A = this chain, B = another copy of it.
């Protein structure tokens, strides 16, 4: 569309139409079958050929990143509410909860996110959203540390990893109780002693 605008040509209508059809179908398929769902099936159900899918989204990750865009915005809006909280430890806890839900949106989502998180060169379209999440987490961590609620040795990245792996475990069908115990074990791990309930 940039190229079009510069050359004074309106973008073709079918482009946008196909793009949104693909995104909607992909979201449904990711929800039902996880992120490893067949892209051919997505294309077919969206009513386009495989070539069209790959032109719009050259890799599975690109499609995934585009689909995640909506979820990311939800997360950001939720972030606004969290930042209003007085208690930094509570804010951190809620933020971690929100991230975990984000990671659990589709089956198999944690894997590509982890892969994207370590790459500094944004070779993946998921790297940027990941970095945003890590940075945000670190902000909450530092705030809670300043208030003396979180141990000094903890980094935002650590809790990003923790949330990601909890989501991974959840996606593998572990029961809710075990997850609760793990979550509170981690919380015990990062909270300062005298703050713990």
Chain A residues within CB distance 8 Å of chain B: 111, 114-115, 118, 151, 153-155, 157-158, 161-162, 164-166, 168-169, 172-175, 178, 181-182, 184-190, 193
Contact = CB atoms under 8 A, between A and B. Distances in A.
| A interface majority secondary structure | helix
Given A161-B178, A181-B154, A115 B172 contact: yes
A182 to B, nearest CB: 6
Contacts of A188: 151, 188-190
A193 B182 CA distance: 17
A162 B166 CA distance: 9
Contact of A115 (B114, B153, B173): B173
A106 to B, nearest CB: 16
Contacts of A166: 165
Contacts of A169: 114, 161, 164-165
Contacts of A182: 158, 161-162
Given A157-B178, A178-B155, A185 B168 contact: no
B172 A185 contact: no
Contacts of A155: 178, 181
A161 to B, nearest CB: 6
B185 A118 contact: no
A12 to B, nearest CB: 40
Nearest to A172: B114
A49 B75 CA distance: 51
A159 B151 CA distance: 22
Contact of A118 (B164, B168, B173): B173
